[in-house]
Amino acid sequence: MPLLYLPPETLVQIFTYVGPLFFQKDITRLTVSKRWFEFARSTCYQHVTFSPERLRAFVSSKSVERPDIFRDNVQALALNFGIHRGPLNAVSSWEPMGNDLYSTLARETAEARSSSIRFKNLDADLGQIGIILQQAPKLRFLRIEAYGSPTRSQPDGPAIIYHSTMKTVLSVEHLTSLVMDLPGRILSLKEDRERTCHICPMIGAILHRLLHLRLRMRRICPDALRSRDPTEDLRLNRVVINMDCGKHVPGQTETSLGCSTYYGPGIGKGMFQKLKADLGLLSGIFRSREKMTEASLAYARLFYLGSSKEDESFDFDEAATRGAVERLGTSPPKPFCPFLLLIWPHYPFEAGEPYFFMYNGSLMPEPTWASSKTGPEPQYMKEIREQYGITGTTKGTWAEITATYSMMTRLDDQF
């Protein structure tokens, strides 16, 4: 039977398995036939990432005049406004300037020119896309990330986003997961052309809608986790706050989406305890690694530890991988076959930044249940399920572990 003659529900599963990236890499893959296009276009817009350039191209195209395809199908949206992003395994570091003064100045001049062009229309473009997102019925996951810093030769400083624009983007009706990954200093929020404001109250205003919230910012205040109505029941089951945003670059001032009353780097060891005290409404949500087993036996049986400690800098897999790369660089005698024992994809499941809660759990594929298997399986699999009492583990728990752990993404990044 030809592929396109299959039932619609089967075709939806096939195109979902193929994924949006397949079509986004080559837009001509959408135009095989009219029926193919009907399924391919909805898949293409399920998960979308906009850089300033892509956002400008989208807003400038005819897609804005007829936004129904994008609006009706987008499920997860990432807005990436970083000037430069370091390696994923070194997100808490900053790139030192080189010793060559000429190359350093040339690089800064090029970055300043590029940044000025990238951010020229950012506020207006965000305003237009925000209006479309207001009516997006399937949008559940929003990630806003901005890495890097304005260079010293960049006269305009960070890109400016106005209060009304950001409020429009964040007030998506059906949003359940919000990730604000803003360790850099390239975005600045302003109430108008004169007064600077901060983003924390906007996050607090939508707190009642969210199931997952992850914040990584240089500054934060209790307004970010203070619900608009103290008597309102919150649906949150995951809150991650990370203020380890790396070192301050000499000669640069703090121009983040920050607050006047804030907690951030450099306050001291008691900072997080004070923040928890100010957030009494959400005190039950914060779970330390030591109390994880008491909070949920299901996670304990799955050897799930959650976020790794900030001071755990040693990484066996990273050391083994770097050692192998160095060995290969010495031109070892041939034939030569390196063998790496990588322990990361095994329990206990534990993840550090930026892999912790990198993905949206609601978008994770459903696991393969033992009852659905048609062939034999090793006896030890059944023994593990029964001995550790995980036969009743829910789909939601598996999805959270898959989304939070991000083990294969981490291995891919290392290689």
Contacts of 313 (CB under 8 A, 6+ apart): none
Q: Is the link from the previous residue into 378 a cis peptide, with omega within 30 of 0? A: no
Q: Delimit the domains of the chain by residue range.
A: 45-286, 292-415
At 147, is the pLDDT very low, low, confident or very high (cuts 50, 70, 90)?
A: low
Q: What is the pLDDT of residue 120?
A: 67
pLDDT of residue 252: 37
State the DSSP string of 264-294.
-TTS-TTHHHHHHHHTGGGTTT---GGGHHH
Peptide bond into 335 cis (omega under 30): yes
For 216, phi then psi, to 5°, come to -135, 100
Largest CA distance in the chain: 70
CA distance 236 to 406: 21
228-269, pLDDT tens digit by residue?
A: 777 777 788 778 777 654 444 333 333 344 454 455 544 444
Q: pLDDT value at position 243?
A: 61
Q: Name the band, by pLDDT with cuts 50, 70 and 90, for residue 285.
A: very low
Long-range contact set of residues 364-373: C-beta below 8 Å, sequence gap at least 24: 364/398, 364/399, 364/402, 364/403, 366/395, 366/399, 367/395, 367/398, 367/402
What are the structure tokens assigned to 214, written together?
Answer: 């992850």
With bands split at pLDDT 50, 70 and 90, how would you rate the model's confidence at 411?
low
- Residues with Cβ within 8 Å of residue 201, at least 6 apart in sequence: 223, 224
Q: Are 203 and 215 in contact, with CB atoms under 8 Å apart?
A: yes
**Does the predicted TM-score (pTM) go above 0.75?**
no
Per-residue model confidence as pLDDT tens digits over 151-162: 444 444 455 677
Q: Quote the pLDDT of residue 312.
A: 47
Please give the pLDDT value at position 307.
Answer: 65
DSSP bridge pairs for 78:
49, 143
Instruction: Report which of 188, 190, 166, 192 is spatially closest to residue 178, judged by C-alpha positions.
Output: 166
Reported residue count of the chain is: 415
Give the C-alpha separation, 45 to 69, whole Å.
8
Q: Render pLDDT for 7-36 as a digit per residue (tens, 0 to 9).
A: 878 887 888 788 787 887 777 777 788 888
